[in-house]
């Protein structure tokens, strides 16, 4: 690993720690509480929320890197490609089916439903697009709108509590979950980082033209399918926990490449660290501004990401094919 890559990873770790501090310290002041109550609030509310934000942001950052690699396109990310929308609809439908199922059962079931719906969405859009990446991305934007409408159509059959959960899925909201939920999501994200590290050279070769990569021993089709599968799993994990948080997966890989270059043995962990840091900061800001304006964390990431997405579109997006 080069000095530049080590420096970038150190910077990413520093950003993560700063974001964690922001998520834990920003928000309603704790001065009016007794010491024991402050500890309980930190451990039972703010720490699970911070871990959830880190898990979601890290998963989205790495998912965006993998999608951009598989499609060789700067505009790809789970939100833009419609995968997040499909996963959110799948999780919403699972809530309807689960009814009053215990929370311990509902989380893995929602996760599996989100993963399956995300995969189905990606498969259908790829078939419709027929290899045209720009058509795939535009189809993803349309799919997100359709899935949001479909999730809202479920409202008539949902209880008030389930309706609140579906609304949170659509806007991107960091919950106060039981501690085991963000820990499971973090385990999924770290396993994906380990997978990418183990296959770093193979991932690097996917940056080449297909015939060049094949001449170096890469089964391009199979490798690309595995990358898309891993990206969809990460996106579904994030959506299950926090709903549709847009544009983190779009912006973070660009920042990671600017810091570390193009080797995926450094890009994968750096994208995870930076994604976690971005969402931790956004979560901290949303809590700090809550007395003034109450917005979900997805609103803040969209405010940042939408202009950047427009700038990338105007630039053309590397590898855009009609």
The CATH number for 229's domain is 1.10.3470.10
d(CA 251, CA 291): 28
Short-list 203, 260, 195, 186, CA closest to 12: 260
Residue 132: how many other CB atoms lie within 10 Å: 15
Q: Does residue 204 sit within a domain?
A: yes
Is residue 42 situated within a structural domain? no
Supply the pTM of this predicted model.
Answer: 0.91
322 part of a folded domain: no
pLDDT band (50, 70, 90) for residue 110: confident
Asked whether residue 8 is assigned to any structural domain, the reply reads no
The SS3 call for residue 267 is helix
Residue 23 lies inside a defined structural domain of this protein: no
Structural domains of the chain, count: 1
- The tokens describing 268, both together, are 């994968």
pLDDT digits (tens, 9 = 90+) for 185-221: 999 999 999 999 999 999 999 998 888 988 888 888 8
Query: Quick one: which of 266, 186, 201 has its CA closest to 234?
Result: 186
- 122 neighbors 228 (Cβ within 8 angstroms): yes
- Whether 321 maps to a domain, the answer reads no
pLDDT digits (tens, 9 = 90+) for 132-157: 888 888 898 888 888 888 877 876 77
Asked if 56 contacts 245 with a C-beta cutoff of 8 angstroms, the reply is: yes
User: Do residues 300 and 285 touch, judged by C-beta distance below 8 A?
Assistant: yes
Q: Is the pLDDT of residue 64 over 60?
A: yes
Query: Comparing C-alpha atoms, which of 148, 232, 282 is closest to residue 274?
Result: 282
| Domain extent for 205 | 47-314
Judged by average pLDDT, the poorest of 61-75, 255-269, 290-304 is: 290-304
Decide if 14 is inside a domain.
no
Flag whether pLDDT at 30 surpasses 80: no
Residue 12 lies in a domain: no
Report the pLDDT value the prediction gives residue 99, as an integer from 0 to 100.
Answer: 64
């Amino acid at each position: 690993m080069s000095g530049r890559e080590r420096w970038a990873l150190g910077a990413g770790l520093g950003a993560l720690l700063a974001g964690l501090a922001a998520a834990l310290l920003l928000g309603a002041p704790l001065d009016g509480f007794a010491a024991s109550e402050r500890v309980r609030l930190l451990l039972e509310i703010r720490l699970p929320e911070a871990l959830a934000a880190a898990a979601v942001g890290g998963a989205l950052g790495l998912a965006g890197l993998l999608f951009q690699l598989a499609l060789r396109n700067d505009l790809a990310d789970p939100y833009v490609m419609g995968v997040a929308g499909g996963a959110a609809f799948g999780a919403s439908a699972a809530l309807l089916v689960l009814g009053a199922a215990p929370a311990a059962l509902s989380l893995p079931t929602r996760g599996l439903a989100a993963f399956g719906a995300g995969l189905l969405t990606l498969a259908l859009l790829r078939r419709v697009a027929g290899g045209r990446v720009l058509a795939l991305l535009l189809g993803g934007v349309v799919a997100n709108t359709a899935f949001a409408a479909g999730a809202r159509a479920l409202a008539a059959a949902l209880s008030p509590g389930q309706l609140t959960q579906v609304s949170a899925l659509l806007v991107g909201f960091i919950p106060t979950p039981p501690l085991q939920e963000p820990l499971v999501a973090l385990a999924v994200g770290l396993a994906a980082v380990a997978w990418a590290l183990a296959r770093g050279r193979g991932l690097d070769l996917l940056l080449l033209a297909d015939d060049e990569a094949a001449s170096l021993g890469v089964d391009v089709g199979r490798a690309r399918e595995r990358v898309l599968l891993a990206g969809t799993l990460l996106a579904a994990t994030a959506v299950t926990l926090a709903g549709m948080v847009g544009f983190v997966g779009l912006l973070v890989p660009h920042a990671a490449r600017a810091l570390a270059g193009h080797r995926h043995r450094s890009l994968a962990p750096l994208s995870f660290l930076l994604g976690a840091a971005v969402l931790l900061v956004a979560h901290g800001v949303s809590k700090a501004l809550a007395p003034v304006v109450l917005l979900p964390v997805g609103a803040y990431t969209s405010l940042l990401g939408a202009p950047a997405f427009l700038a990338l579109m105007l630039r053309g997006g590397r590898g855009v094919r009609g």
